[in-house]
Amino acid sequence: MAKVLFTISYELNPEKREDYFKAIKELKLLVKTEGIESYNVYEVKGKPNHFQEIYVFANEEVYDNYDDNTDERVNLLISKITDMTVNHSAKYTTLVELPELE
């Protein structure tokens, strides 16, 4: 089955950087238990305070069911992080792995 990559990109308010690191550290611990193959956060090189979260799901079914299985604390942290971003906005992208070519 095809893996799914889900990304969230946003610009953080610079004065919220330390609070962000605390929230994202806790989020990283919690999402590991939610059936995600991997979850990482990156800062865009050359663009301070621009971050991208990358979730890797084993397949589309796990991805589709993820929101139904999230813990209330995860939802609170996501909301808190969104509030720390410039304009309280983020860009979401969902990528589905191509089937192997024979």
- Give me the sheet containing 4-11, strands edge to edge: 38-43, 50-57, 4-11, 91-96
Residue 27: inside a domain: yes
Domain of residue 49, CATH code:
3.30.70.100
Report the pLDDT value the prediction gives residue 53, as an integer from 0 to 100.
96
Residue 62: inside a domain: no
Query: What's the predicted TM-score (pTM) here?
Result: 0.87
Residue 28: inside a domain: yes
Give helix 17-31 / helix 72-83 axis angle, nearest 10°: 150
pLDDT digits (tens, 9 = 90+) for 36-83: 899 999 999 999 999 999 999 988 988 998 877 778 888 899 999 999
Residue 58: inside a domain: no
Radius of gyration of the chain (CA): 14
* Domain count of the fold of the chain: 1
Residue 60: inside a domain: no
Distance, CA of 62 to CA of 51 (rounded, Å): 24
Distance, CA of 85 to CA of 94 (rounded, Å): 20
Distance from chain centroid for Cα 38: 10
DSSP state at residue 46: T
Residue 34: inside a domain: yes
The residue segments making up the domain with residue 9 are 4-53+69-96
